[in-house]
Amino acid sequence: MDVQQVLTGLAERLRTWWPVPGIAISVVDRSGECAFVTAGFANAESGAPLSRRTRFEIGSISKTFTAFLLGILADEGKVDLDAAVADHLPWFAPNGGSRAITVRHLLRHTSGLVAGADALPDAAARGYALRDARTWAEPGELFHYSNEGYNLLGLIVEQVTGESLADAMTGRLLRPLGMRDSAARITYEDIAELATGYRFLRDDRPPLPSAPLAPAGFFEYSAADGNVLATASDLGLFARMLLGRGTLNGTRIIGPEQFRQIVTVPADAVGSSYVLGVDVEVIDGRTWLTHAGGMVGYRSYLAVDTDGGHGVAVLTNAPGECRIIDRFARHVLAVVQGAPADPALFDPERIPDARRYVGIHGAAPRQIRVEATGDDRLSLTSDGVTGKLYDAGDGRLVCDHPGWSAYHHSLAGRWLHGPESLGPGPCAPAAPSHALVGHYRSYTPWYPSFSIVQRAGRLHMIAATGVEAPCDEPELVPLDDGTFRVGADPRLPEHLTSGPAPDGAVLWVDLDGCRYTRSFRDQPEPGEAPVRSSCTRS
């Protein structure tokens, strides 16, 4: 098999189906780089091609770097992973001064802290804002992915080393690994050869696979949850270190015991698990180390099969929420290790388990008929108009029917689309519209807007786009103090507070410190025909 040719074909096929301006792939084994593939553009407007030195923001893959940096500092005796966070950050006193949250809890996302408030742009202020945070889960009890926890880890690095996070990470990881074209911070001085990142042109409706893109605004970033710039080949060096269990080209980067702790699933875990900064999965009896990364304008994925002996780094300047990249990268690793290439896995018209969606959902006047139109393909018909259903890449569907394009579609007993719950049997009795119902937006690039809808008598928060936006359309649960918990599980830390409603409609809401105002557009217009474009294709 000509790996270079096969992967080039897969990359080009991906780009014809999904909004991926450019993609770079590095395939490695323990001895070196086996293949390097690029397709598309570093800048779609100018047509500038990608090169071996093109940099990308790798997003949350930086968390794996942070975890290894903490492991190296543990080897140096500068930090104890089981010490209280407050030992290093004395101002950190959540839950009335509790010292129960440890460094290891932050590394494993089991601290109970919020996922990410996005209210403050810089690391020190973000961390200090959590000084008196309240959590509703005991440390170690609940896995809840937290960018804020990793930001705190970066502040700990700075406290124990007396260096900036960037300098500490560069000196202990990037330089020893030979990652000469990478950087441990994202600044105007550090972005030579950076690919232009892209976002979806619209953030108020689910993007179709052909959705038009626009250049994402650049902003500086230094927090430990997403601070690394890298080339595909440089990230391949990091993958080779993982294959070498902490060594690269005979140089030991981290001690064997700390490496073991980072990649060993605890005895009480069931199956795959997020350990310390990395997902550890067992696939066909082999151990995979993986991590996805999303930034505003970039989506990346790192996957290493420590038993099979290969790793892949896939970097793109596609929108950060474009999760099809994760599926693509995992397939690339499987192909490199002998599996047949199957481009159909990325065809957005192919719906996984399509047959379960087929049927008539709802009743007139809001009724849809979903039919199979071929192998794993579906159509949606309503009011005499038929549209296609597409795989959104995140477990939900999107539709180009003009009357059914304002929200994602999913099936959970009933057909769910925004405020609608269609299925057999009656819906919950209609209730007067809640003052919170509407569309809200802010200027945070991570989670720019969301709708609050009333579905079957309950409030749900639904985001169409956003790197940090949830995909599960969480319920807003009213609490005794007048706030709303975001999600049904009482241990979840995210809360929403409503602002004034002088005319019966809330003017703004506060989501964990980030204010969103009711949009003058209010909610997406269901009836507006979707815009189709191929502006980023070659």
pLDDT tens per residue, range 22-44: 999 999 999 999 999 999 999 99
Q: What is the pLDDT of residue 536?
A: 26
Task: Give tens-digit pLDDT for 128-166.
Answer: 999 999 999 999 999 999 999 999 999 999 999 999 999
Q: Which of 238-252, 343-357, 422-436, 481-495 has the lowest mean pLDDT?
A: 422-436
| pLDDT score recorded for residue 529 | 37
How is 292-340 classified by DSSP, letter by letter?
Answer: EEEETTEEEEEEEETTTTEEEEEEE-S-TT-THHHHHHHHHHHHHTTPP
* Banded pLDDT at 289 (limits 50, 70, 90): very high
Give the pLDDT band of residue 530 (cuts 50, 70, 90): very low
Do residues 315 and 230 lie in contact, with contact meaning Cβ atoms separated by under 8 Å? yes
- pLDDT the model gives residue 118: 83
Region 46-63 average pLDDT? 97
Burial 441-477 (b: 16+ CB within 10 A, else e): bbebbbbbbbbbbbbeebbbbbbbbbbbbbbebbbbb
Higher pLDDT, 533 or 519: 519
pLDDT in tens, 295-340: 999 999 999 999 999 999 999 999 999 999 999 999 999 999 999 9
Three-state helix/strand/coil letters over 70-88: HHHHHHCCCCCCCCEHHHH
Q: How far apart are CA 447 and CA 461, in angstroms?
A: 12
**DSSP secondary structure letter of residue 100:** -
Share of the chain above pLDDT 90, in %: 89
Give the amino acid at 372.
A
How confident is residue 428, by pLDDT bands cut at 50, 70 and 90?
Answer: low
Confidence of residue 427 (pLDDT cuts 50, 70, 90): low
pLDDT at residue number 532: 29
What three-state secondary structure class fits 28?
strand
Task: Compute how many other C-beta atoms are within 10 angstroms of the C-beta atom of residue 414.
Answer: 18
With beta carbons less than 8 A apart as the criterion, state whether 215 and 22 touch: no
Residue 531 pLDDT > 70: no
Say if residue 444's pLDDT is above 70.
yes
Which CATH number applies to 3-59+181-205+218-346: 3.80.30.20, 3.40.50.620, 3.40.710.10, 3.40.50.1820?
3.40.710.10
Mean pLDDT of 411-418: 95
Give residue 192's pLDDT: 84
Secondary structure (DSSP) of 458-522: EEEEE-SS-TT--SS--EEEE-TTS-EEESSSTT---EEEE---TTSS--EEEETTEEEEE-TT-
- Token couple for 83: 């010490």
Instruction: Say if residue 87's pLDDT is above 50.
Output: yes
Taking only the tens place, the pLDDT of each residue in 365-401 is: 889 999 999 889 999 999 999 999 999 999 999 999 9
Output the pLDDT for position 270.
56
Which residues is 386 bridged to in the sheet? 381
Measure the CA–CA gap between 108 and 153, rounded to whole angstroms. 11
Partners of 200 in beta bridges? 213
Question: Residue 526 above 50 pLDDT?
Answer: no
Residue 3: strand, helix, or coil: helix
Whether residue 147 contacts residue 123, with contact meaning beta carbons closer than 8 Å, is answered with: no
pLDDT, residue 272, reads 66
Bond into 365 cis (ω within 30): yes
pLDDT tops 90 at residue 528:
no
Confidence of residue 403 (pLDDT cuts 50, 70, 90): very high
Q: Is the pLDDT of residue 436 over 70?
A: yes
How buried is 272 (Cβ within 10 angstroms: 0-12 exposed, 13-18 middle, 19+ buried)? Answer: middle
Residue 191 has pLDDT above 70, yes or no: yes
Of 47-51, 401-405, 468-472, 522-526, minimum mean pLDDT range: 522-526
Give the pLDDT band of residue 538 (cuts 50, 70, 90): very low
Task: Please write the tens of the pLDDT for every residue from 161-180.
Answer: 999 999 999 999 999 999 99
Mean pLDDT of the chain: 93
Q: What is the CA radius of gyration of the chain?
A: 23
Token pair in block for residue 299: 């989506």
What pLDDT is recorded for position 429? 59
DSSP per residue over 229-259, as a string? EE-HHHHHHHHHHHHTTSEETTEE-S-HHHH
Q: What is the pLDDT of residues 224-268, one digit of tens each?
A: 999 999 999 999 999 999 999 999 999 999 999 999 999 998 776
pLDDT of residue 533 exceeding 60, the answer is no
149 three-state secondary structure: helix
Question: Is the pLDDT at 85 greater than 70, yes or no?
Answer: yes
